[in-house]
């Protein structure tokens, strides 16, 4: 984190502010004058704690917490979400559609947790936890980010379910694709973890081979109540994978062709710089630890 001029460090500043002011994320402090100490145990008034949930305490100093956060995949996901919610359609097409063999200039909509409202789900029914989900009138693109977590066939079914729900919501698409972004190039082991039998090709019988009990309740409902829609998506869904280094190279190539004299290009340059800086913070540092 040598150069703090890129915008992603504003995110880190916000995280630090939340550390020191946890009331902004729904927490409250319990003053020491209300503690009751008995040997090596401390009790606090019952009306100061959540009756149905855990009691939290700071586990690390601010500096140690920052180091710990930098190793968490979720942080890179957050910066990814912000970047590509702002990024122009051209960048989404170049970074995600093109590796999937999809030609679609958009316009794209980036969908995150708001899919719950989009599909009319209750608050407890946001079951997909997708990393990236971009839809246009012609295409739907899923993006699965990987640092340390393994891939699985369940993830393919969950993205397929997302595509099926989106088509039910806003109509069929010409192209559907799921792109993995990995630390190292995809090999036979990666695709085997995904449950495919022939590299980046969805197996026609994947739904028959998967353990349906491993699927979230909402996805299981789709399997049993609208299996044909899910099978149709799996039949049309393409798979591909790139590395973080390849994504970074694409971003650098896009940046190289921008005109710093134009206000819009200036903003995009700053957006790309912050995203690349975050990739280097987490992906490069993780590679050094391996």
pLDDT in tens, 134-188: 999 999 999 999 987 788 888 999 999 999 999 999 999 999 999 999 999 998 8
Q: Quick one: pLDDT at residue 174?
A: 96
User: How far apart, in whole angstroms, are the C-alpha atoms of residue 180 and residue 247?
Assistant: 11
pLDDT digits (tens, 9 = 90+) for 61-105: 888 888 888 778 888 889 999 999 999 999 999 999 999 999 999
What is the rounded average pLDDT of the residues 39-55? 83
From 97, 221, 229, 111, select the one nearest 168 (Cα to Cα).
229
Task: Yes or no: say if 142 and 128 are a contact pair by the CB < 8 Å rule.
Answer: no
Task: Yes or no: say if 95 and 141 are a contact pair by the CB < 8 Å rule.
Answer: no
**Position 285 confidence tier, pLDDT thresholds 50, 70, 90:** low
* Burial class for 1, CB neighbours closer than 10 Å (0-12, 13-18, 19+): middle
CA distances from 62 to 13, 27, 58, 67, 128 (A): 11, 17, 9, 9, 31
Displacement of CA 172 from its chain's centroid (Å): 24
Q: Residue 128: pLDDT above 80?
A: no
Tell me what the pLDDT averaged over the chain comes to. 88
Q: Quick one: pLDDT at residue 288?
A: 54
Q: Quick one: pLDDT at residue 126?
A: 54
Q: Quick one: pLDDT at residue 196?
A: 87
From 145, 189, 161, 172, select the one nearest 286 (Cα to Cα).
145
Taking the domains of the chain in order of start, what are their residue ranges? 8-70, 73-246
């Amino acid at each position: 984190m040598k150069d703090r001029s890129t915008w992603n460090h504003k995110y880190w500043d916000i995280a630090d502010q939340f550390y020191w002011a946890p009331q902004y994320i729904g927490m409250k402090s319990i003053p020491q004058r209300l503690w009751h100490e008995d040997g090596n145990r401390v009790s606090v008034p019952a009306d100061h704690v959540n009756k149905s949930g855990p009691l939290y305490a700071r586990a690390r100093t601010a500096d140690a917490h920052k180091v710990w956060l930098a190793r968490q995949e979720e942080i890179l996901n957050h910066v990814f979400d912000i970047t590509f919610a702002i990024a122009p359609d051209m960048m989404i097409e170049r970074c995600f559609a093109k590796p999937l063999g999809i030609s679609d200039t958009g316009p794209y909509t980036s969908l995150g947790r708001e899919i719950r409202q989009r599909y009319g789900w209750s608050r407890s029914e946001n079951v997909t936890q997708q990393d990236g989900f971009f839809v246009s009138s012609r295409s739907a693109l899923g993006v699965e980010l990987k640092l340390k977590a393994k891939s699985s066939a369940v993830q393919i079914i969950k993205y397929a379910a997302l595509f099926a729900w989106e088509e039910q919501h806003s109509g069929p698409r010409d192209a559907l694709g799921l792109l993995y972004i990995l630390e190292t190039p995809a090999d036979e082991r990666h695709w085997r973890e995904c449950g495919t039998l022939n590299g980046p090709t969805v197996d026609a019988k994947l739904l028959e081979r998967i353990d349906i009990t491993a699927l979230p309740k909402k996805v299981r409902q789709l399997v049993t109540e609208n299996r044909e829609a899910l099978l149709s998506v799996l039949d049309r869904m393409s798979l591909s994978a790139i590395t973080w280094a390849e994504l970074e190279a694409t971003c650098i190539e896009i940046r190289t062709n921008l005109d710093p004299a134009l206000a819009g290009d200036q903003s995009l340059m700053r957006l790309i710089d912050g995203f690349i800086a975050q990739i280097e913070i987490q992906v490069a540092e993780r590679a050094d630890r391996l």
